[in-house]
Each structure stands twice: as C-alpha cells, then as structure tokens.
A and B are shown apart, each in its own frame.
Chain A
Amino acid sequence: MTSLSPTPAPARPVLELRSAHLRYGPRPLWTDLSVQVDHGEFVAVLGANGSGKTSLLRVILGLQPLTGGTLLVDGRPPRRGSDAIGYVPQQRRVDPLTPLRARDVVRQGLDGHRWGIGRPGATRRRVDAVLDEVDARAFSDAPVGLLSGGEQQRIRIAQALVADPALLLCDEPLLSLDLNSQRTITALVDRRRRSHGTAVVFVTHEINPVLPYVDRVLYLAGGRARIGTVDDVLNSATLSDLYGAPVDVIRTGDRIVVAGIPEAPEQTHHAD
C-alpha cells in the first residue's frame, strides 16, 4: 500500500449506502438511507440520541447487518475488521496502570488483531510515521494512562490511521474534551483527509467544532435522513420537516445554534 502522495480520487466511492434500512424488532431506526461518501470527503453525522448514529457506524464496521438495502465499503460488502476502515471511539479515561505506552496503542491498530506475539520492532517505522503525523512523538513512550484526555485521543486517531484506511469513522471523538483539544483533533482529521484522501465520517452531536471542515452533513431524525451541505440541511425548514415540529436554526457569526428539537419519547434525559 502506498500512502505518501495525495492519490487522485478513484471513481469508486469509499462508502455507499443504497436504500438502506435498519430496524430493531418493530422499531425502524432509519429507512431508505442513501449516502455516498467519496475520497477525501468530510461528512458529519448529526441527530438526536437514539436516532441511529452509532448503529450506522456499527453497520459500516460490519458488526451488525442491515435489515434491507445495500452497503459497500471501498467497493466491497462490510466485513468485520476490514483494513479499509479506521475507527476512533469516544474519549474514555484509560486506566492509569494500563501496561501500554502510547506507541503500543498505535501499534494495536496495525497488528493488534493478528494471532501470535509478533516480532518486536517490525512495525516501528510505520508507528513512528503516524505518531509524527498527529504530533505525538514527544509522548510516544509515555504510559498511555498518564496522558491527558486530548493526548489520548490523538493517540487513538493515530491508532485508527496507522493501517492507512480509506475511511475514518469517528464516534463522537470530541466528547468531554476541552475546546483546545477539540480543535486539535478536528484539525488533525482534516489534515489527513487532505494529504491522503481519507474519507471521514464523523459522528457528533455538536456541529460547531467541525464546521470549518465539513463538506456535507447527514442528519438522522425520526427514522428519516437528510444529506447535503451545511446550508442545505441545517436550516429551520429542513429540520422542522425532519422532526415534524418547529425547529429554529440560528447562525451567529461562525456558529450554528439549533433550538427547539423535540425530546424523543424514550429519551427523556437529553436530546440536544
């Protein structure tokens, strides 16, 4: 796999969903979802809690089958553990005594799923390269459990990128990070997709940190979806239609504020 120069985007989309359906028992999460994500594209996935954002990621990761329609990842049906996908989870504190250095966590993205013990040092060059890319060389030998939340998340980005995936899936990677770290993470993701043509699907409940980078927005609500540019989707008319209730979208300077999203009946605590 070559990875250094920006590759000319092949015609084939990195991610393609055609009339995809997903239901749990009688409850449809989303129906008739058609999305296409091309090389180097940055797509933000938004929607209330319980709207199926995380399920969408699980389907793409091959952890859960669609109940209808087609899904292609890099031209192939989804497969567990595909090298075509890098996955960044929500930020969680790592136990301080975890016996891994930052570089060991990154290495897991390359060969952590392989059987056996592996040759020491066999992956060093690639691990170092991706550590440089996320500016983490300074703490690459530090115990991962002692890093700050933002640093740990940078290491997770490196772990997701080290196998040079065509698609980077991020599941609320900014959650519980301070503003500065949020900017760092989004800037890193943006830099990667520009340098390597990596497609980015970025699940978030907060659009503003990614606003400067987003090409398109996929908004999931009430079993339906809208996809388009920020202006196409994040406006009062579209969201009011999706939710079936009046929703106000206000743009103030370079920020977007969404107000009046109805609380889903089964989600009483928090619906954004």
Chain B
Amino acid sequence: MTTVLAAGPGPDVWHQIFNFANYGELLALVHNSIIAGALLGIVGGLVSTFVMMRDLPFAVHSISELSFAGAAGALLLGANVIIGSLTGSILAALIIGALGSRARDRNSIIGVLMPFGLGLGVLFLALYKGRAANKFGLLTGQIVAVDSVQLQWLALTCVVVLIGLVAIWRPLTFASTDPEVAGARGVPVGLLSPVFMLLLGLTVAMSVQIVGALLVLSVICTPAAAAMRVTASPGLVTLLSVIFAVVSVVGGILVALGGSVPISPYVTTISFTIYLICRVIAAVRAKRGWATRSAERPLAAAVPATH
C-alpha cells in the first residue's frame, strides 16, 4: 500500500496513469486493439447521432448492462465472450424496441431491465474462477491484445451495422425527427424502430468489448451530443460525431497503453473534454447571435412577416 501524501498523488501514482516507457514495442503489441478502436469509433459516432435524435441514451446504458451480463455468462461457461455480449445486447435491444414505443413505457422498461442485467452479470462474475482482469475488463474496458479472431468478429459487426445504417439513413432520420409526417409520407416508422434497436444492440456489444459496459455512453452518446452543440447541419453533425468518437477511443487506447489503469477513464476523459469544448464554442456563438440566423435580410413583402 502506498501512502498518498497530503501534497497530492505521489510520482508512482502518476506513473500508473501515464507511462510511455517502451512505447514503440507496446504499440506493436496492440495494433489490433487500435484497429478495433477505430472501427468502434466510426460506428459509435454514426449510431450516436440517431441515439440523440431518438432520445435513447438511457436505453443505450441498459443495453450495455445486459450485454455485460451476456459476456459474463459466456466467460463463466467458457464460451466466446463476444457472442455472449452480442446475445445480451440484442435481446435487450429487441425487448426495449418491442415493448417501449412510447417514451414513458420505454423508460420504465429500461429502468427495470438495467439492474437485472447488472445483477446477473455480477452473479456470473462471482461464480467465475478465472483471471480477475477478465472480470474487471468487461465493466471498465481493457486493452487485452485483441486477437485476430476477436477482431474479425468486431469487423464483421461493424460492417453489418454500417450497411444497415446506410440503407435506412434517410427514412430513419425522417422517422426520428418527425415520426408523424414521416408516417404520412410512407416511411415505415414502426418497422424502423426495431431495426435501429438491432443495429444499436450490435454497436453496444462492440463497445462493451473495448470501453467496458459502464462507460459505453462515452462512445454512443457523447460524440453526437457534442457535435449537435456546434452545428445543425446533418452532414457535419455526422462527420464531427465520427471524428470525436474515433479520437476518444483511439486516443484513449494510445494514452492508456503504458499505464496500469483500465482504458475507460482515458476514453471518457477525452470524450468529455470534447463535449466541454463544444459547449463553450456554442455559448460563445450564442452570445454573438450566431445561433438564430445565418443571414439577416428583410422578408419579401407579399406575405406579412412573423415576429
């Protein structure tokens, strides 16, 4: 046990958090993790714009707890952890999608599912007799050297989510921002909801592998929440959200590399810092009056202007 001095954390604590000794060798060991992180950043950034539009952050958190339970169950049984985590999150996503079409219903179902998932996961981990790092990693993330088989799973998930999202992009945007008019225009609003939940479940399962179940929101909510503060252009929101997510995850992995602390604090700190910066930019702009109009010019005289 180290005694923490009143003056602040001792040098060995800093050393645990930041340690760049032998960095080049470590980097070579984790290049699979970095690829996985980049894939997660791309998919997480894209999905998070819809998570924000559809007001689903709470659902994301709940899905990740069930994903954790699935992964922990797989760990206990000696099965593939990724398949376990996929099973848990897809089940949770489908349950939330099927039972909670209205926001109120949805929130109560989520509130019921979340502790159940977490409890189940804790039970499985308590029974598991293997390495403790495996246990902790599911909750708070880890840079275990992602092996090639795992990377293939992650890449496959990523491709499925990307193809799915691109295919339903326009109607999903329409249904997420104005379900009533979208329905009138022929968008299958009721069908898109479970399809999106499925894609969301896949993405959450991916994130649980890397950032851990407790902090998935830093990849599947914060990037778009930050982007929406600085622009309302849908293309730019998407682009910024992806950039923010990739920077958070890959940056988090790179900084975490030498330390002995889990990866998630790095990812969440970068993600949160980006969000803060975006809010500051938005506040400065609002002061200068940017937010209301792009250009000020008198309206045509034919129709009386609104005030």
Contacts and interface: CB of A to CB of B under 8 A. Distances in A.
Contacts of A13: none
Given A89-B180, A108-B174, A138-B299, A113 B186 contact: yes
Contacts, number: 142
Interface string B58-87: 000000000000000000000000000000
A63 B304 contact: no
Nearest to B229: A97
Contacts of A85: 184
A101 B233 contact: yes
Interface in A175-206: 178, 180-181, 183-184, 187-188, 191
Interface stretch (B95-103, B112-120, B287-295): B287-295
B183 interface: yes
A189 to B, nearest CB: 11
A184 to B, nearest CB: 5
A111 B174 CA distance: 10
Nearest to A81: B186
B294 A139 contact: yes
Interface residues on A, range: 35 or more
A221 B129 CA distance: 72
A63 B179 CA distance: 13
Nearest to A145: B232
A63 B184 contact: yes
Contact of A159 (B181, B303, B305, B306): B181
Contacts of B229: 97
A111 B170 contact: yes
A3 interface: no
Interface of B: 49, 52-53, 166-171, 173-174, 177-178, 180-187, 224, 227-229, 231-235, 237, 291-297, 299-300, 302-307
19 contacts: A63-B183, A81-B185, A85-B184, A89-B180, A105-B178, A108-B177, A109-B181, A112-B182, A113-B186, A115-B171, A135-B300, A142-B292, A143-B232, A143-B291, A146-B232, A180-B305, A180-B306, A184-B303, A187-B302
Q: Which 3 A-B pairs have the closest CB atoms?
A: A81-B186, A143-B232, A150-B306
